[in-house]
Structure 1
Amino acid sequence: MDAMRADTNSGIAELSAESGRFANVYRVLGDAVKNHAFPGCAFGVLAGGEIVLEDALGRFTYEDESPLVDPRTVFDVASITKVVSTTAVAMLLYQRGELDLDTPLGELLPGFVVGRESARLALQVTLRHLLAHNSGLPGYVEFFRSASTPADLYRACLELPIEATPGERSEYSDPGFILLGKALEVLTGEDLVVWARTQIFEPLGLKSTRFNPASEQRHRIPPTEIDSQFRRRRIQGEVQDENASVLHGVAGHAGLFSNVSDLLRFAGEILAGSQNSRTEGISPLFTQDTIECFALRQGPDDSSRALGWDTPSQESSAGHHFSANSIGHLGFSGCSLWIDLDAAVAAVLLTNRTWPDRQSQLIKQVRPAFHDAVRAALSGQ
């Protein structure tokens, strides 16, 4: 497979005969490396219950001596945390009858309501609203500018103004998922990181998926950026998101690290559940009813948001061939996970497109081209 790698010394991959039907996938990603959309990537495809592609191109950074990305390389997956950790926890609690989607957030986190001028609106915000990103909370707040401890940040998050009537406006909200993560901790009585590890990651055999990688493992993780504003150092093996950093690397919105094989395994579990599949008496972790519930678009009518998950929009990062019955999520660092529940296909793309800074937006063209190439290859085109 080395012949297919995008070595930054030569700029683009030499595609060998081994690439076969996925040759166009390698071309799309090789061109992306050459054009500095990202220095390297790992990627994989699940189809028919089997991994049909798992490989990597490029290097950790644009320097010639930088390590090559490996198919098993772990990346900071940023907001994919929202589905693989936070939403997955909510799904399992819902399935066990321990989470009511219409529970008001204020019942679990009284500080969200007490002392607030807009208490009437705050009382209307439910866990469903947080999952659907239509709670009325703002999309993004630089809490890290003033909050120096987790307690400070959570307090600031609880006190945020509610800018719209819950359910009436869709706005992708990191603060909403920060609060959702804390609410789930109240429900489980455990830290989010512990519950997710023992109830989801370990049962599914996700061996490389974790928050806060050990210090001795950090050099094996591609760096995400040179942070010149907040931490003033190279960010490698620690969460890139500044608010998650203040929260000591564990949050409902970001902080998870994972690799292609683990994310494909997770996607396979979702697909097995959606098809009500059982292998040798072993049931999937998530039931068909749970997946259908969380995959349903929530509104307002123009929103692509389901519960925790996104679905394909008119101009989707999933390209043109993932069905309307698909769920997925993106990560700011340049990662993506898309699962087509109808076609039983999943695709993972992991990159560090924010290296050495956040300026490049070429990932917006790469993602749909990658997914279109994947689906064309699977259909024999």
Structure 2
Amino acid sequence: MDAIGDELRSSVADMPDQTDRFATVYKVLGNAIASRAFPGCAFGVLAGGEVVLADALGRFTYEEDSFFVEPHTVFDVASITKVVSTTAVAMLLYQRGLLDLDTPLGELLPGFVVGRDSGRLARQVTIGHLLAHNSGLPGYVEFFRTVSTPAELYRACLELPIEAAPGERSEYSDPGFILLGKALEVLTHEDLATWARKQVFEPLGLTATGFSPAAEQRPLIPPTEIDNQFRHRLIQGEVQDENAFVLNGIAGHAGLFSNVADLLRFAGEILRGFNGGEPERGTALFTRDTIESFAERQRPEGSSRALGWDTPSKESSAGQYFSPHSIGHLGYSGCSLWIDLDASVAAVLLTNRTWPDRQCQLIREVRPSFHDAVRLALSGQQAL
């Protein structure tokens, strides 16, 4: 994973000052820092095919001598991994005719079915169910407390009970995406990080995006927490998620590091594909048909989950003004990415809200306020 390239750095430097236009955005985020929702943040907005805002506020930690966050600062984006890496890989494989969403997981990972008392239900779980978070698998399991190697964790994941018939219950599932990541590796014959780098990140010029940052880069990444429960040390520049840590930092559900410029470029490619516009680099990565298929809400009725992506719910982190035809995702560390397909607008907010521990939940109030302020600013309004 390289530092931000000269091209992206210069584009941010050359951007006209937007502090007046986005004054409410700065106020929302400044108040959040003052309230200790997070020590610092980087944020950006894409509208009409152009980056109209890319900036940062605050520091890496609450210490006065801590590094300032910069617009190009790389963060642990946690579950945004699920869309920028895992779902993006699934979209490409689907688009190329290499992935059938109705493929039973057991065909790719036979251990998911073998030896199960619930073998009938296990045989019904498909790749589509994993993407839609309606597989019947549990939401979260602390595998890291009982296993210590990737093989042990995958085995434990394969043996999880199926708690509901596939398609009948919506439950956001990390284990489901851990298994999805492994299933995609079977299809690509490469590890997830390598295939995503070669087929998604490099073609889009995402120079700051990748798994497992090098040791020399870690001090330049805001720390996520002081871990007093598992690793018993400062967590900085390595994945915060404990299960992903056991998986050597590369997993379908977490482990990706990125920055605002790269995530806006990824969002821009989604919007270009959806709108049929010219790609920045070579052939468009995603077609409109693929994007529409993966943006469609899935069973059961009332679920906000599409395929891999989330969509705005009644009280959404995307706020009041992102259309129902929006897709996005959150990261536990305090990050978010939302893309309004109808308005051709995308917004990125990166924070380390879990510093110094995971107790503060103010991010739940900040996210919708941030997105509302962005959309009002784009419409020419200055105040909430």
Establish whether TM, by shorter chain, passes 0.5.
yes
The unaligned stretches of length 5 or more in structure 2 are: 1-16
Report whether the alignment pairs 1:113 with 2:117: no
Partner of 1:257: 257
Partner of 2:50: 50
Give yes or no for contact 1:75–1:258 (8 Å, CA) kept in 2.
yes
CA drift of 1:276 comes to 1.1
Give the aligned residue type for 2:83: V
CA–CA separation in structure 1 for the residues paired with 2:191 and 2:318: 33
What secondary structure is seen at the aligned counterpart in 1 of 2:76?
Answer: strand
- Deviation digits for residues 145-197 of structure 1 (CA, Å, limit 9, x no counterpart): 01100000000000000000000000000000000000000000001010000
Give yes or no for contact 1:42–1:349 (8 Å, CA) kept in 2.
yes
CA drift of 1:136 comes to 0.1
Which residues in structure 2 correspond to 1:296-315 (within 5 Å)? 296-315=296-315
CA–CA separation in structure 1 for the residues paired with 2:355 and 2:47: 31
Partner of 1:76: 76
Partner of 1:175: 175
Give the aligned residue type for 1:189: H
CA drift of 1:58 comes to 0.2
CA–CA separation in structure 2 for the residues paired with 1:281 and 1:289: 20
Give yes or no for contact 1:277–1:283 (8 Å, CA) kept in 2.
no
The unaligned stretches of length 5 or more in structure 1 are: 1-16
Which residues in structure 2 correspond to 1:224-303 (within 5 Å)? 224-278=224-278, 282-303=282-303
Partner of 1:184: 184
- Deviation digits for residues 240-266 of structure 1 (CA, Å, limit 9, x no counterpart): 000000000000000000000000000
Partner of 1:321: 321
CA drift of 1:283 comes to 3.4
TM-score, scaled to structure 2: 0.94
CA–CA separation in structure 1 for the residues paired with 2:281 and 2:215: 40
CA–CA separation in structure 2 for the residues paired with 1:69 and 1:250: 25
Give yes or no for contact 1:168–1:300 (8 Å, CA) kept in 2.
yes
CA–CA separation in structure 1 for the residues paired with 2:27 and 2:301: 37
Give the aligned residue type for 1:62: Y
Give yes or no for contact 2:204–2:281 (8 Å, CA) kept in 1.
no
CA–CA separation in structure 2 for the residues paired with 1:270 and 1:342: 12
Partner of 1:165: 165
Partner of 2:343: 343
Give the aligned residue type for 2:23: A
Which consecutive aligned stretches of 4+ in structure 1 deviate over 6 angstroms post-superposition?
none
Go from structure 1 to structure 2 and tell me whether the alpha carbon gap of 1:268 and 1:38 turns closer, same or farther (over 3 Å shift): same
Give yes or no for contact 2:148–2:246 (8 Å, CA) kept in 1.
yes
What secondary structure is seen at the aligned counterpart in 1 of 2:57?
Answer: strand
CA–CA separation in structure 2 for the residues paired with 1:258 and 1:18: 23
What secondary structure is seen at the aligned counterpart in 2 of 1:21?
Answer: coil
What secondary structure is seen at the aligned counterpart in 2 of 1:77?
Answer: strand
Give the aligned residue type for 2:325: N
Q: Percent identity?
A: 79
What secondary structure is seen at the aligned counterpart in 2 of 1:184?
Answer: helix
CA–CA separation in structure 1 for the residues paired with 2:281 and 2:19: 36
Go from structure 1 to structure 2 and tell me whether the alpha carbon gap of 1:202 and 1:280 turns closer, same or farther (over 3 Å shift): closer
- Deviation digits for residues 309-345 of structure 1 (CA, Å, limit 9, x no counterpart): 0000000000000000000000000000000000000
CA–CA separation in structure 1 for the residues paired with 2:107 and 2:201: 28
CA–CA separation in structure 2 for the residues paired with 1:279 and 1:70: 27
CA–CA separation in structure 1 for the residues paired with 2:147 and 2:60: 31
How many residues are treated as equivalent by the alignment?
Answer: 365
Which residues in structure 2 correspond to 1:13-24 (within 5 Å)? 19-24=19-24
TM-score, scaled to structure 1: 0.95
Give yes or no for contact 2:272–2:279 (8 Å, CA) kept in 1.
no
Go from structure 1 to structure 2 and tell me whether the alpha carbon gap of 1:373 and 1:221 turns closer, same or farther (over 3 Å shift): same
CA–CA separation in structure 1 for the residues paired with 2:312 and 2:279: 30
